[in-house]
Amino acid sequence: MNTADLGLPVDVPSTALFTDQYELTMLQAALKAGTGERRSVFEVFTRRLPEGRRYGVVAGTGRVLDAVENFRFDAGVLGFLRERGIVDEPTLDWLSGYRFSGDIWGYPEGEVYFPGSPILRVEGSFAQCVLLETVILSILNHDSAIAAAASRMSSAAGGRPLIEMGARRTHELAAVAASRAAYVGGFATTSDLAAGFRYGIPTVGTSAHAFTLVHDSERDAFRAQVDSLGRGTTLLVDTYDVTEAVRMAVEVAGPELGAVRIDSGDLLLVAHRVRQQLDDLGATNTKIVVTSDLDEYAIASLAAAPVDAYGVGTQLVTGSGHPTASMVYKLVARAHSADPKAPLEPVAKKSLGAKSSVGGRKWAARRSDAYGVAEAEVIGTGPVPAELVDDQLQVELVKGGQVIAREPLDAVRDRHAAARARLPLSATQLSRGEAVIPTEYV
């Protein structure tokens, strides 16, 4: 069963109003001026990575494809626009038949990117493409930021599984998207059932301190959980006294106890003590799960601790200090007329500050050294050099308005792991630095 086709409450009837009013302002004026039908090329890119990040992670592409497909102006939406006087009647008539019929190319989801990388390229009429700016950026900026944080955390975890558990720390719909992005970045499971239902992500859950506190004793709480869920359950052991709780947990569940969770205190010290105590009690296979506001730095600091899994919430769903990827959506080429055969000409904003861009429809390739390790992100607007033809990064996602590149989320997750593995080793260091490979324009 494809859960993505079930239509959950987290979906919306239309994505058409996930936009800024200025896009409709531009649309109305362009249609009246006769420039709305000019063939145009927009690109999504970022001018820089967040401070200290060595690479970015493309995430949200699958959600972008859904959003583009669902970008429809139904009667209710058109009525709202008419009532508010946002656009005139000719524009409303045009919007009533809106269907994106252009092409979209982009980095495959899960791939890494760098400053200037043409992460997504949207081609079609100016009128069709300009409307998609906000919804595309809102998805890619959020999901890529979460996936980048998740990637750093999964790298710091060194193969130990990570549990996404940040639903209570963000908007209820953002939580579902964050779970998906975290899975792309290397997390193994989520506590968010909507994400599990919508995207097929494995779900897990333990218990909270409230469960212990509602019982007359900690023993009663452990007994109730084990009786209901079996000896393989995970017991929370830091409500009162950790040492006594671990002893009691093994006494109640036996050495077959699945895991204990530690949610407070000096996690490095407590984890060592708990591991020794579990081993002494014969529970040598009982796992230790730690939580407590972890980020990639805290996870890395626990590398030498006998920890089997990490639960991460707040820092993950807020991008670990960088909640956006700062991507932009810019017109880079357009035709001089509405003639479909009119040639495209590069265009670019001129700026004295840091907001300049490079005009022209771009290709991208990643050059590797003799050992297969990435050494440069190469971007150009002319012919692709023969030696880079097989290293091109962009793939066709939408052709003539039809989505042609949907794929399972596990494939995206595997792609990211492979892409990260091809980067220089310094990419996964948590020390601050510039992009791990340079961007070269040819």
Q: How far apart are the first and last CA of the chain?
A: 46
Name, in order, each residue with C-beta under 8 angstroms of 207's C-beta and a sequence gap of 6 or more.
Answer: 221, 225, 234, 235, 236
Give yes or no for a contact between 392 and 378, defined as CB atoms under 8 angstroms apart: no
pLDDT score of 13: 62
Name, in order, each residue with C-beta under 8 angstroms of 150's C-beta and a sequence gap of 6 or more.
Answer: 57, 162, 164, 181, 182, 183, 184, 185, 186, 187, 316
d(CA 58, CA 147): 8
Sheet holding 287-290, edge to edge: 189-190, 162-164, 309-312, 287-290, 259-262, 234-236
pLDDT score of 2: 47
**Number of other CB atoms surrounding residue 63 within 10 Å:** 24
pLDDT tens for the chain, residues 1 to 442: 444 444 444 455 689 999 999 999 999 999 999 999 999 999 999 999 999 899 999 999 999 999 999 999 999 999 999 999 999 999 999 999 999 999 999 999 999 999 999 999 999 999 999 999 999 999 999 999 999 999 999 999 999 999 999 999 999 999 999 999 999 999 999 999 999 999 999 999 989 999 999 999 999 999 999 999 999 999 999 999 999 999 999 999 999 999 999 999 999 999 999 999 999 999 999 999 999 999 999 999 999 999 999 999 999 999 999 999 999 999 999 999 999 889 999 999 887 666 778 999 999 999 999 999 999 999 999 999 999 999 999 999 999 999 999 999 999 999 999 999 999 999 999 988 899 999 999 9
**Number of other CB atoms surrounding residue 245 within 10 Å:** 23
Q: What is the DSSP letter of 319?
A: G
d(CA 134, CA 289): 39
Tokens of 40: 């145009």
pLDDT score of 3: 46
